[in-house]
Chain A
Amino acid sequence: MWPTSPAADGNTNTNTNTNTKTRARLSSSSSSSSSLSTSSSFSRSSSSSSSVAVLQTPKRKTMEEVWKDMNLATLANESQPPAAVSGDTRHFFRGMILQDFLASAFKSPPSSAVSSEKPQLPLPPTALSLTSGLCGPFGPSNLPHHTAASSPFSLSTKKQNLEDAPSCNAESDRHHKRMMKNRESAARSRARKQAYTNELELEVAHRAEENAKLKKQNEESGNGCSDSQKGFSSENFISAILKKNTAHLHMLVESLDFQLRDLGF
């Protein structure tokens, strides 16, 4: 469902447009990614294109409006106006705006779902590769969280690159690759940390349980309830008594001896 709590991510939200922000939140899933598009469906379900298509339909108009607003209002530049793109799919349309937006100002993480269906667009190649590449790690690694967390980092590094980058394919490919690798590496790092934390938690829980069990056992044996314990202390007691009796007997024998001697035996 649409999260109603404020998305207080450190990740994104340099948007000053509150309208957009609200819409962004509404459209983003409960995952940490607050991407301003219909990637919510994508990150929630792992790359089932049918669900992506279905979920995108109702929001499309909103998103387009959003992008249009942003594009017109905030982008005073060379980007192709939204109206120029016609006769293409909605996806393409949104992608255009998105990428233009990204090309000029890195304000938010790109849409991952959008990129899934347009490999060839006549746009600034770096921006293209930026979004089209996002689908890469989703398939194999299946970690819905890593986009958002890794994207601000990689996006911020790429910001500079995109701004100076010429429309040279080799360079954009390299950037693209680097970004992908970085993303995966960040995901692995997070997984590593999480796995170790989980293991420690499990161990702590296990030891606490054992501890409680042993304490209980200890208590019970302390009261002399367990048979073995009882036996042991009884033995001690008995042997003590035996010793004492033996000593007594000794004394008695000696005194008897003495008395017998007196009597002349």
Chain B
Amino acid sequence: MSRDPLVVGRVVGDVLDPFRRSASMSVIYNNKEVTNGSELKPSVVAREPRVEIEGYDIQKYYTLVMIDPDAPSPSNPTNREHLLWLVTDIQETTTANYGNEVVSYESPNPTAGIHRIVFVLFKQSIRQTIYAPGWRQNFNTRDFAQYYSLGPPVAAMYFNCQRENGCGGRRYVASGWT
């Protein structure tokens, strides 16, 4: 069994197929880099992060997809995946803020349960035009990549997010009820 956090956290499986990491991506909220699999509050992720791609080749372009596969709730993900942000034509050495924002950043705001918020990075073979889908719900990263011939992802990471005053996904306070 793989020990890769993406596999253990079922990101590979629910959202992506197994892939080999070939790029280095850092997601930075409020000057703090996010550790894969950590938990962030909605207040922290209210504004878009700085997404840095390591490298010096300005001829390379990347597409970033940010989705919530556990919408509206992880036990009932009928809106899987909910598209939160879509940026294309990002170059190495720059950040996603300099790319072409096809779908504007939406702050993750889970109401039920603990959601995974996934960032997926694809390498564009050419500088292509990518169109925004008609709606954010039921986005499918796999199909999207196939449609635009993006190939397998080159990097991915995720963090967990729950309601601001959430209590770890429990409906009742743990003290009196199991």
Partner of B9, one of A141, A185, A195: A195
- Residues on A with beta carbons closer than 8 Å to the beta carbon of B74: 185, 188
Partner of A192, one of B75, B160, B178: B160
Q: Is the CB of B75 within 8 A of A199?
A: no
| Chain B nearest Cβ from A139, distance in angstroms | 13
What is the size category of the interface that chain A forms with chain B?
10 to 19
User: In the complex, A153→B75 CA distance in Å?
Assistant: 18
| Chain A nearest Cβ from B2, distance in angstroms | 9
Q: Is the CB of B37 within 8 A of A185?
A: no
The 3 closest A-B pairs by CB, nearest first: A195-B9, A196-B37, A195-B8
Q: A153-B178, A157-B178, A189-B169 are in contact. Are A200 and B35 (CB under 8 A)?
A: yes
Contact with A along B3-33 (1 / 0, CB 8 A): 1111011100000000000000000000000
- Residues on B with beta carbons closer than 8 Å to the beta carbon of A185: 74-75, 113, 169
User: In the complex, A185→B3 CA distance in Å?
Assistant: 20
Contact with B along A174-213 (1 / 0, CB 8 A): 0000000100110011011011101110110000000000
Q: Is B138 part of the binding interface, using a Cβ–Cβ cutoff of 8 Å?
A: no
- Residues on A with beta carbons closer than 8 Å to the beta carbon of B75: 181, 184-185
User: In the complex, A200→B3 CA distance in Å?
Assistant: 11
Q: Is the CB of B169 within 8 A of A191?
A: no
Q: Is B38 part of the binding interface, using a Cβ–Cβ cutoff of 8 Å?
A: yes
Q: Is B53 part of the binding interface, using a Cβ–Cβ cutoff of 8 Å?
A: no
| Chain A nearest Cβ from B4, distance in angstroms | 7
- Residues on B with beta carbons closer than 8 Å to the beta carbon of A203: 35
| Chain A nearest Cβ from B14, distance in angstroms | 9
> Which residue, of A157, A195, A202, has the highest number of chain B Cβ atoms within 10 A?
A195
| Chain B nearest Cβ from A262, distance in angstroms | 69
| A residues at B contact (CB < 8 Å) | 141, 153, 157, 181, 184-185, 188-189, 191-192, 194-196, 198-200, 202-203
> Which residue, of A191, A192, A194, A203, has the highest number of chain B Cβ atoms within 10 A?
A192
Q: A153-B178, A198-B3 are in contact. Are A192 and B35 (CB under 8 A)?
A: no
Q: A181-B75, A185-B75 are in contact. Are A199 and B178 (CB under 8 A)?
A: no
Q: Is the CB of A198 within 8 A of B38?
A: no
48-102 of chain B: CB within 8 A of chain A: 74-75
Question: Which B residue sits closest to A182, measured CB to CB?
Answer: B75
Q: Is B36 part of the binding interface, using a Cβ–Cβ cutoff of 8 Å?
A: yes
- Residues on B with beta carbons closer than 8 Å to the beta carbon of A192: 9, 37, 114, 160
5 more CB-based (< 8 A) A-B contacts, given A184-B75, A196-B5: A141-B10, A192-B160, A195-B5, A198-B37, A199-B36
Question: Which B residue sits closest to A141, measured CB to CB?
Answer: B10
User: In the complex, A186→B20 CA distance in Å?
Assistant: 29
Q: A157-B178, A185-B74, A185-B169 are in contact. Are A196 and B4 (CB under 8 A)?
A: no
User: In the complex, A43→B162 CA distance in Å?
Assistant: 31
Q: Is the CB of B169 within 8 A of A199?
A: no
Partner of A195, one of B37, B114, B178: B37
